[in-house]
């Protein structure tokens, strides 16, 4: 009998990840919370490499939410500093690996130095075509949808859009992800069973994989397990 290779070849085009558990990892190791975020950086690198190896085309990482600004000032400053450092240090490797860096969210909320580093990295990797790595920064799905509604309302008011023609394509075309395909697979680490205001519109038909593994312990093996779980599922999109 021929070997069934469907599980190996059924690869999601777009994987989105809610990276959760850095704080708990740090607590378990009796370390400061920022140490957990620094450890999580290594997991990002491993998962990017795994995504490329498996042929995933788009990878979106929930890096910082609009709600995260409410965290202690020291932690937020530490996270912004870490983000700036990572962007600078990983730029050359992104070029070698063919990774294009992109970002979605209220990028105007980021500190000027971080935003400048981000814009530089995005511009220098614009021509890379192997993997689009999308960072969700100062991101909140409800804010995203509200901003889309406001844009659509302005177009209607200006007479450029007939309200009777508004459909799913119209809404999708006004989201931060307007030029990205919807995620096929959503991964959540740390075992939490919630979406946390992440891509509420876009994940309508995504397959969801939840793992108890904390983000700093999530690597290539766990990513492969998530892909295998996805490959075993039958996506019906509301049909039979």
Residue 128 among the catalytic residues: no
- Check pLDDT > 50 for residue 132: yes
Kindly state the tokens that stand for 201.
């519109």
Kindly state the tokens that stand for 233.
């599922």
Phi, psi of 17 (to 5 degrees): -130, 130
C-alpha–C-alpha distance, residues 155 and 136, integer Å: 26
The pLDDT tens digits of the residues spanning 172-231 come to 999 999 999 999 999 999 999 999 999 999 999 999 999 999 999 999 999 999 999 999
Q: Tokens 């240090």 appear where?
A: 89
C-alpha–C-alpha distance, residues 199 and 33, integer Å: 26
Q: Shortest CA distance to 47 belongs to which of 99, 111, 122?
A: 99
Residue 28 among the catalytic residues: no
Please give the domain boundaries of the chain with CATH numbers for all domains: 11-139+183-231 (3.40.1180.10)
Catalytic residue among 22, 68, 132, 229: 68
C-alpha–C-alpha distance, residues 224 and 26, integer Å: 25
The pLDDT tens digits of the residues spanning 93-104 come to 999 999 999 999
Element of type H or E holding 186 = strand 185-188
At 2, the pLDDT band (50, 70, 90 cuts) reads very low
C-alpha–C-alpha distance, residues 36 and 214, integer Å: 10
User: pTM above 0.75?
Assistant: yes
């Amino acid at each position: 009998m021929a070997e069934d290779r469907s599980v190996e070849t059924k690869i999601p085009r777009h994987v989105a990840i809610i990276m959760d558990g850095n704080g708990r990892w740090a607590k378990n190791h009796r370390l400061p919370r920022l140490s957990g975020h620094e450890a999580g950086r290594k997991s990002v690198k491993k998962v990017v490499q795994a995504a490329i190896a498996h042929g995933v085309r788009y990878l979106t990482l929930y890096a910082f939410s609009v709600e995260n600004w409410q965290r202690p000032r020291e932690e937020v400053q530490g996270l912004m500093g870490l983000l700036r450092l990572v962007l600078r240090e990983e730029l050359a490797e992104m070029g070698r690996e063919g990774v294009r860096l992109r970002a979605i969210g209220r990028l105007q909320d980021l500190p000027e130095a971080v935003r400048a580093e981000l814009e530089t990295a995005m511009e220098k990797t614009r021509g890379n075509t192997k993997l689009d790595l999308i960072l969700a920064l100062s991101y909140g799905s409800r804010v995203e949808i509200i901003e889309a509604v406001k844009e659509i309302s302005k177009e209607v008011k200006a007479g450029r859009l007939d309200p009777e023609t508004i459909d799913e394509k119209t809404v999708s075309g006004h989201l931060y992800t307007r030029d990205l395909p919807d995620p096929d697979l959503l991964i959540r680490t740390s075992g939490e069973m919630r979406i946390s205001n992440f891509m509420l519109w876009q994940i309508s038909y995504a397959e969801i994989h939840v793992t108890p593994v904390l983000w700093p312990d999530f690597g290539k093996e766990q990513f492969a397990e998530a892909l295998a779980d996805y490959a075993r599922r039958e996506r019906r999109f509301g049909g039979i």
